[in-house]
Amino acid sequence: LVEPGCQTHTMTLVAAIVSVFALLADGSPTFVAKLCRGGICPDPRFPIMDYVEEEGKCTCRKHPCWSDSSLTHSCPGADAPYLHFKYDANKTLSCQCRPDPQHDTPHVARDKCAGHFCASADFPILDWSPEENKCFCRKHPCLEENNLRHECDDPARPILHFAFATMLDNIGGEVEVPMCHCLQKPEEPASKGLRGAAEQEPKVCNRYT
């Protein structure tokens, strides 16, 4: 079962010599995408698939900069329309507007890699390697797929997101490949109500393995 606010997506791919069964996790650093395989966050008000380590569960989160103490950040300028977040070594949040979308998650940026930020357009995604116990900046997986460059030309869906599919090949082995899709820009949730009650985040998703 899946709690409200999150969805699962199951895909079957059929080729001439192989049938595959894929479970998707929406665009996040690959560390979180693999932990949350099977969950997606289609609601633009809660666009970030994240992992709650203490509970071993996944959740769809609001952008951290939409609830920065008493501040609500936004990026109305066309030259830098995407709101980015980062955490310093003391796990203090800071926000800025940048020209390209961000694909980081609070769990990696705050819990694993506080003090790190990826500013390079070629390696924009902050990720965590549990095998090497270190943080690193990686390319967007959809820009590495078979040397093909995926683009999102529809202004209504300008953000290139990725998911990982675990596939069975024709000899029974598992292969992970990125699945690329275009999504709309995240939308700031409705403002606080008359009594000042902040909108709650969706409940966590069940974790899939």
Q: What is the mean pLDDT of residues 42-66?
A: 89
* pLDDT at residue number 148: 63
At residue 6, does pLDDT exceed 70? Answer: no
Q: Using the predicted structure, report yes or no on whether residue 178 has a pLDDT greater than 90.
A: no
| pTM of this structure | 0.71
Between CA 81 and CA 75 the distance in angstroms is: 5
Question: Is it the case that residue 173 has pLDDT exceeding 70?
Answer: yes
- Using a 10 angstrom Cβ sphere, with 0-12 exposed, 13-18 middle and 19 or more buried, the burial of residue 123 is middle
**pLDDT score, position 94:** 93
201 forms bridges with which residues in the sheet? Answer: none
Give the mean model confidence (pLDDT) for residues 13-33: 45
Asked if the model's pLDDT at residue 110 lies above 90, the reply is: yes
Structure tokens belonging to residue 194: 């008359």
Least confident of 33-37, 76-80, 112-116, 153-157: 33-37
Supply the pLDDT for residue 145: 54
pLDDT higher than 80, residue 184: yes
**What are the residues whose beta carbons fall under 8 Å from the beta carbon of 130, sequence distance 6 or more?**
31
- What pLDDT band is residue 28 in, cutting at 50, 70 and 90? low
Element (H, E) at 34: helix 30-35
Task: Give the β-pairing of 10-14 and 19-23.
Answer: antiparallel
Give the CA distances from residue 197 to residues 29, 151, 158, in Å, rounded to whole numbers and listed in that order: 31, 39, 32
The number of residues in the chain equals: 209
> Is pLDDT above 70 for 91?
yes
pLDDT value, residue 113: 96
Which range among 41-50, 89-98, 156-165 shows the weakest confidence by mean pLDDT? 156-165
Q: What number is the average pLDDT over the span 61-86?
A: 87
d(CA 41, CA 7): 7
Q: State residue 77's pLDDT score.
A: 87
CB 160 within 8 Å of CB 142: yes
